[in-house]
Amino acid sequence: MSTIRVEQGLLEGSVRDGVHSFLGIPYAAPPVGERRWCPPAPAEPWDGVLDATAFGNAAIQTADTGMDLGAPQSEDCLYLNVWTTQPESDNKQPVMVWIHGGGFLNGSASLKIWPGEQLCRDGVTVVSLNYRLGAFGFLTDPEVGANFGVQDWVAALEWVRTNISAFGGDPENVTIFGQSAGGAATRALLSTPSARGLFHKAVIQSAGFEDYAVVDSPSLERSHTATDRLYERLGSTDINELRQIPAEKVREASLALSGIFPPAGQVHTPANLVWYPVPDGGVIDDDFGGWEKNVPVMLGCTEDEARMFVQPTMLYAHPEVRPEDAYTPETLANMAKAMGGDRYAEILEHFASTGAGDYEAIAEVITAGVWHEPARATLERFAELGRTCYSYHFARVSPGARSTGLLAKHSAEIPYLFGTLNPPEYYEEIDTQISRGVRHAWAEFARTGVPACLNGAPWPAFQPEDPQTAWIGDTIGPRTLEPTPVARLISASRTPQPAIPSRG
């Protein structure tokens, strides 16, 4: 066992193979009862020693994904976890704070796909956290406020600043990183004034980019509208009454209004989400008020992002629809028009010339329109702001990923980053080497602000006139970041306009 004192009291965690784990640490008071839809309050101190050997409650999941969360669901969910190999207070290791994804509807830091045991072996102190999801975290009310999930992230970072040195971490060298909704969360924190000074580097993975064209962008007005409809479903506009409504009823209303179902004739993409961090003139601003100029950013995508959402063997949003009935020429035309606007005919001509099947073409156009083109636009935007930014592109396809047709889908880099290459038969020795390289690069970025290959070669910073990226395939190394023909056409269809800072 391992014992550490934090501001609220003593913690007893566990030690295995040199890794000290402290799980289920409360970083704020339970947001229940009168604290529902309130900013997080400080965690209460405790007497004696708090058992920190099991994960704290997961946030209430808006939709049932069938995943094993590794912990019970509850509104009482504001817990974090710490992994370190060097818990002495004078070690001053870089700190990496993970914000999990799940569309702001699902997910938990307790999921088995992103433990901190392996990553911390690269000489960093790893923190992961839970936050309020769905309407619990992203309701917008002019009287009560907004962006409660964002305020949870800030509270966790404040806890890190106060307590992380006890675990061997350096509160003056904190990197925030997240994937999917966690990437959008990282981008949102760049525009959160109260987060300023609480982090010193940021990694944005597969979200948090400039606007895409499928649906209207998340906005304060859209969040207000969803909140009004939520109140209608719950039968009250009195916040005190609403705070007494059972959490399950709030969850059901949150799901009904979550926007996860695509418009007719289209297939599901993350563009449809409603409960989302939005500029509100308070917690999040319309600029980058939380981003200090000396804070570098690393961001990137996977090669085949959309194959997570439009899979070759199933449909997430409408499982009763057969894939062969959904991935049709008509669906392709609808998605090409949604993504490419007045250039959609040229997009269809491109696919006709390459002989791509309907499924492959649909996946490619969504990948280009929701991820690749917006990511490139973000790199250029950040460069215009004079910020230091590094790019990566994850394209490694394991034997298992090739056999399923999922390829380098959305989240494909996660097992490599956290060293969770399971099941073993899904991977081969090259994947083990790539995993080491990915963990090393992320840890070096946290340590120095410059990601580096295992041989010590630094990754090139992104420059619009010479757009270099770190290509992560069967090897890791620099490559010119060339947009695909579809991404070029989508980019050409856009009317340049300022993007919402938290967009992902």
pLDDT band at 498 (very low <50, low <70, confident <90, very high): very low
Residue 353 confidence (pLDDT) above 90: yes
Residue 236: count of CB within 10 angstroms of its CB = 12
- pTM for the whole structure: 0.94
pLDDT band at 494 (very low <50, low <70, confident <90, very high): confident
In this predicted structure, what is the pLDDT of residue 213? 58
In this predicted structure, what is the pLDDT of residue 1? 82
- Antiparallel, parallel or unpaired: β 468-472 and 389-394: parallel
Distance of CA 456 to the CA centre of its chain: 28
The answer to whether residues 394 and 303 touch, using CB atoms and an 8 Å cutoff, is yes
pLDDT in tens, 26-52: 999 999 999 999 999 999 999 999 999
Tokens 């207000």 -> residue: 224
In this predicted structure, what is the pLDDT of residue 313? 63
Residue 325: count of CB within 10 angstroms of its CB = 10
Q: Does 232 participate in catalysis according to the annotation?
A: no
The answer to whether residues 182 and 155 touch, using CB atoms and an 8 Å cutoff, is no
Distance of CA 159 to the CA centre of its chain: 20
Lowest-confidence segment of 13-17, 109-113, 250-254, 270-274 by average pLDDT: 270-274
The residue annotated as part of the active site, out of 200, 393, 410, 440, is 410
The residue annotated as part of the active site, out of 75, 303, 305, 360, is 305
Q: Spell out the domains of the chain, with CATH numbers in brackets.
A: 2-205 (3.40.50.1820), 270-492 (3.40.50.1820)
In this predicted structure, what is the pLDDT of residue 315? 45
Report d(CA 67, CA 349) in Å as an integer: 40
Residue 369 confidence (pLDDT) above 60: yes
In this predicted structure, what is the pLDDT of residue 500? 35
Residue 122 confidence (pLDDT) above 90: yes
Which letter does DSSP use for residue 420 in this model? -
Lowest-confidence segment of 263-272, 413-422, 427-436 by average pLDDT: 263-272
Rounded mean pLDDT, 242-251: 97
In this predicted structure, what is the pLDDT of residue 19? 98
Residue 504 confidence (pLDDT) above 70: no
Q: Does 200 participate in catalysis according to the annotation?
A: no
Q: Does 74 participate in catalysis according to the annotation?
A: no
pLDDT in tens, 426-472: 999 999 999 999 999 999 999 999 999 999 988 999 999 999 999 99
pLDDT band at 316 (very low <50, low <70, confident <90, very high): very low
Report d(CA 164, CA 87) in Å as an integer: 9
pLDDT band at 266 (very low <50, low <70, confident <90, very high): confident
Report d(CA 392, CA 24) in Å as an integer: 32
pLDDT band at 211 (very low <50, low <70, confident <90, very high): confident
Lowest-confidence segment of 131-135, 270-274, 299-303 by average pLDDT: 270-274
3-state secondary structure at position 222: helix
| Amino acid type, 299 | L
Report percent pLDDT > 70 for the chain.
Answer: 94
Residue 206 confidence (pLDDT) above 90: yes
Residue 140 CB partners (closer than 8 Å, separation 6+): 146, 147, 220, 223, 224, 226, 227, 278, 280
Rounded mean pLDDT, 363-382: 95
Q: What is the mean pLDDT of the chain?
A: 93
The residue annotated as part of the active site, out of 108, 180, 194, 435, is 180
In this predicted structure, what is the pLDDT of residue 389? 97
Distance of CA 441 to the CA centre of its chain: 18
Report d(CA 250, CA 95) in Å as an integer: 35
Calculate ∠ Cα 439-464-345, nearest 5°.
100
Residue 501 confidence (pLDDT) above 60: no
Rounded mean pLDDT, 357-377: 94
In this predicted structure, what is the pLDDT of residue 499? 39
Rounded mean pLDDT, 130-145: 96
Residue 324 confidence (pLDDT) above 90: no
User: Which is nearest to 388 in space by CA: 450, 315, 474?
Assistant: 450
The answer to whether residues 469 and 323 touch, using CB atoms and an 8 Å cutoff, is no
| Report for 100-104, 215-219, 262-266: range of highest mean pLDDT | 100-104
Rounded mean pLDDT, 64-78: 94
Report d(CA 261, CA 316) in Å as an integer: 9
Lowest-confidence segment of 54-63, 272-281, 426-435, 439-448 by average pLDDT: 272-281
pLDDT band at 268 (very low <50, low <70, confident <90, very high): confident
Reading the block at residue 43, the tokens are 């965690």
Which letter does DSSP use for residue 501 in this model? T
